[in-house]
């Protein structure tokens, strides 16, 4: 994901849009006429253009949509099947995902781990922002079991702000993420907390899940390679968090 540093244009021509959706240009023209996917503006010559956001929505590219939602100053409206405004909705969608995964062959053994990892990341968003959501509350939660990917995002205060309440010495997002994944420190001291991301890291390293989590301008990647934590700088700042789990 982070390899593509090319600046992404917000508006695409019809050829680019067709390539992104893997359909023909004629198909896009047809969809524009029928209203299935309307072009948003035309030049005087009648060229069709498409907003990248809408194409991603159409593609149900959960990760790109979550990223757009998390990093935009004014976030787009999310489709309701991705948005969990309050925790009970997240819990019930997580259960639905868990039950579905248990029925799939090749998944039942690791499904409990995947559900627990997604649950811990999603719960962190609610636990650490309750009563303090800067703007849009809740989480983005999308998954595609066929593509073996789960995406979670929030527009909360972010991991650095949360940890600085108890560790004012933390000055960078990278430090904050490193501490979050390696130390048992709570962002809600004196309450006992701070297990979730240690658990995520251990499970990911032990069972070969891919986990990528961004907060601020830092991204932490966990893989099952030895010494599995890698940090990187993200191309776009996200105040809250954005996570991708692959399995």
Partner 1 sequence: MRIALRKFGKILISRPQGREAFAAIRPSLDLSEPAVEIDFDGIISLSPSWADEFFSALRNIYGERVKFLPSDNLSVAATLRVLRESEAASRNL
Q: Which stretch binds partner 1 (CB under 8 A): 37-45, 61-69, 102-110, 237-245?
A: 102-110
Residue 105 CA to its chain's centroid (Å) = 26
Residue 103 near residue 219 (C-beta atoms within 8 A): no
**With binding defined as CB under 8 A, does residue 24 bind partner 1?**
no
21, 25, 116, 149: which one binds partner 1 (CB under 8 A): 116
Q: How is residue 9 annotated by DSSP?
A: P
Q: Which is nearer to partner 1, 48 or 201 (CB)?
A: 201
We find the least distance from the C-beta atom of residue 229 to partner 1, in angstroms, to be 16
17, 64, 115, 159: which one binds partner 1 (CB under 8 A): 115
d(C-alpha 95, C-alpha 21), whole Å: 31
* Span 150-189, contacts to partner 1 by CB under 8 A: 183-184
d(C-alpha 21, C-alpha 217), whole Å: 29
Task: Please name the residues in contact with 23: beta carbons below 8 A apart, sequence gap of 6 or more.
Answer: none
78, 94, 153, 222: which one binds partner 1 (CB under 8 A): 94
Rg (CA), the chain: 19
**With binding defined as CB under 8 A, does residue 99 bind partner 1?**
yes
d(C-alpha 72, C-alpha 84), whole Å: 18
Nearest to 177 by CA among 95, 234, 235: 234
207, 210, 229, 232: which one binds partner 1 (CB under 8 A): 207
Which residues here bind partner 1, judged by CB under 8 A? 87, 91, 94-95, 98-99, 102, 109-113, 115-117, 119-120, 123, 127, 183-184, 192-196, 198-199, 202-203, 206-207
């Amino acid at each position: 994901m982070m390899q593509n540093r090319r600046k992404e244009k917000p508006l695409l021509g019809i050829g680019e849009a067709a390539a992104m959706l893997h359909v023909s240009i004629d198909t896009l023209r047809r969809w524009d006429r029928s209203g299935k996917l309307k072009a948003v503006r035309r030049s005087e010559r009648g060229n069709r253009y498409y907003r990248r956001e809408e194409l991603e929505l159409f593609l149900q590219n959960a990760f790109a949509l979550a990223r757009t939602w998390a990093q935009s100053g004014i976030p787009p409206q999310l489709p309701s099947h991705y948005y969990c405004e309050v925790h009970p909705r997240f819990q019930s969608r997580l259960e639905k995902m868990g039950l579905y995964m248990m029925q799939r062959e090749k998944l039942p053994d690791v499904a409990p781990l995947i559900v627990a990892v997604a649950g811990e990341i999603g719960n962190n968003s609610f636990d650490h922002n309750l009563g303090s959501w800067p703007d849009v509350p809740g989480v983005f939660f999308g998954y595609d079991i066929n593509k073996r990917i789960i995406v979670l995002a929030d527009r909360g205060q972010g991991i650095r702000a949360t940890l600085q309440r108890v560790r004012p010495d933390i000055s960078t997002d990278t430090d904050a993420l490193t501490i979050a994944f390696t130390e048992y420190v709570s962002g809600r001291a004196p309450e006992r907390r701070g297990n979730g991301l240690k658990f995520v890291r251990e499970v990911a390293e032990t069972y070969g899940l891919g986990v990528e989590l961004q907060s601020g301008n830092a991204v932490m990647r966990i893989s099952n390679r030895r010494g599995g934590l890698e940090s990187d700088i993200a191309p776009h700042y996200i105040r809250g968090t954005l996570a991708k789990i692959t399995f």
